Amino acid sequence: MNDLPPCRTPCFAGGIHASPRLVRGAGETTRADQSGSALIVGMIFLLVMTMLGVTAMQTTSLEERMAGNMRDRGISLQAAELALRMGDSDALAKTPPDSSAAGVFDYLADLAPEPTDHASWAASGNTRAWETLDKFSQFKLTKTSSSTSANAAFPGVSSQPQYWFEKRPNRTEGGSYEAGVAPTVEVYEITARSTGASGNAAVVLRSTVIN
């Protein structure tokens, strides 16, 4: 019988000592199992931050375009209003132009063209002569001989605003039993258009004038 010392480490039969080893329990991980996880988490965060940045840039760009469109439409509206006032002044003149003049139409004989059609404004003879805008003299207006005068300078527009007016049927207003027959008044419908600074912000305005 061999007198071998007792084994203090796991041993096989015969007293031969075995090398100790680490036995991993269920649910435990090693350093090798964790390698690369920080990179994956970092890439996910980077992707999220990139998406947020792109979204913010798109939102800012959209807001800039919206602001530019609103400004363009505002300029177009102001120019069309000026042309409308010019048409009012034209119709309220002591002797308004007749339908033989450019930009003057008669509801009963020569209808005005469709104001929403760009070709109506581009056609020669459809619009009234433009007025010179003197911005150094409180918007003093003087007649010119053409609708695209080089002196006509409403600021900030791609092309000067345009207008025409249409004579509507006369009507009677006022009067009394004492005065007898009511006086006849002339009615004009003024239509003005501007396309703003970009040339794409079309604004059409219309007013009715009684002379």
State the pLDDT at residue 144: 40
pLDDT at 13 over 80: no
| CA quadruple 143, 146, 147, 149: dihedral sign | negative
Domain of 113, in residue numbers: 54-210
State the pLDDT at residue 133: 46
pLDDT at 8 over 90: no
| CA quadruple 173, 176, 177, 183: dihedral sign | negative
Beta-bridge partner residues of 184: 172
Q: Give, for 140, the enclosing helix (H) or strand (E).
A: strand 140-143
Residue 196 covered by a domain? yes
Residue 178 covered by a domain? yes
Token reading at 67: 């602001």
Where b means 16+ CB within 10 Å and e means fewer, 13-39 reads eeeeeeeeeeeeeeeeeeeeeeeeeee
pLDDT tens readout for residues 128-140: 876 554 433 433 4
State the pLDDT at residue 53: 93
Q: What is the DSSP string of 144-161?
A: -SSTT-TT---TT-SS--
Q: Give, for 123, the enclosing helix (H) or strand (E).
A: none
Residue 106 covered by a domain? yes
pLDDT at 18 over 50: yes
Task: Give percent helix, percent strand, percent coil of the chain, each to the nearest 5.
Answer: 30, 20, 50
Closest residue by Cα to residue 193 from 59, 108, 103: 103
Confidence of residue 192 (pLDDT cuts 50, 70, 90): very high
Closest residue by Cα to residue 158 from 119, 200, 198, 118: 198
Q: Of the spans 6-20, 46-60, 127-141, which averages the highest pLDDT? A: 46-60
Residue 149 covered by a domain? yes
Residue 70 covered by a domain? yes
State the pLDDT at residue 150: 38
Which of the residue ranges 47-51, 113-117, 183-187, 204-208 would you say has the lowest mean pLDDT?
183-187
64 vs 49, 100, 158, CA distance in Å? 23, 47, 20
Which of the residue ranges 24-28, 99-103, 138-142 would you say has the lowest mean pLDDT?
138-142
pLDDT at 168 over 70: yes
Total domains in the fold of the chain: 1
Specify the higher pLDDT residue, 39 or 26: 39
Mean pLDDT for 47-61 is 92
